[in-house]
Structure 1
């Protein structure tokens, strides 16, 4: 009986310590931005997820030219830029493409999807 009570006390203590850590959010809730470019016909959706190290990016992009390499350029509100990812354009329209930046979500001004130095679509809040 005493051993059972001790085990129960340890389990409760572990629950108090572990549950908040397992359910902790690393940053603000995910936000979704969407844009369509009338000239290129490219349509992009970006899910931005705040993390302690910056922002995790998940892109869904439609109507991309085939057989190209593209990059995601992330612009922050103070004028700095980072490359958030590189990938080939031969992907399914519904495929989620990962990327990342050291900029926090709240500091990101826009995301540019670029092929051959041409911005195909700019995604903004």
Structure 2
């Protein structure tokens, strides 16, 4: 998967967490935003796309920055 985000706080560490419909979770990517407010991050998870319930972008403290619901 390829994640593109804008409007993030700069100079923080983020992670993309994938949540499966059966309750499993995986960290699909971790990155430091440096001093940019938009990023393009390659990510991967072993959860099949049809089994994804939602994806979250969290900061290093675990604070939710973005929730991406699966439609």
State the TM bucket, normalised to the shorter chain: 0.7 to 0.9
Gaps of 5+ in 2: none
Gaps of 5+ in 1: 1-56
Extract structure 1 runs of 4+ deviating beyond 3 A: none
The reply on whether 1:87 has 2:31 as its aligned counterpart is: yes
The reply on whether 1:118 has 2:63 as its aligned counterpart is: yes
More helix by share: 1
RMSD: 1.2
Which of 1 and 2 has greater Rg? Answer: 1
Flag the structure with more relative contact order, 1 or 2, with Cα contacts below 8 A and sequence separation at least 6: 2
The reply on whether 1:65 has 2:9 as its aligned counterpart is: yes
More strand by share: 2
- Rounded Cα–Cα distance in structure 1 between residues aligned with 2:14 and 2:53: 20
Instruction: Kindly tell me the number of residue pairs found equivalent between the two proteins.
Output: 68
TM-score with structure 1 setting the length: 0.51
SS in 2 for 1:121: strand
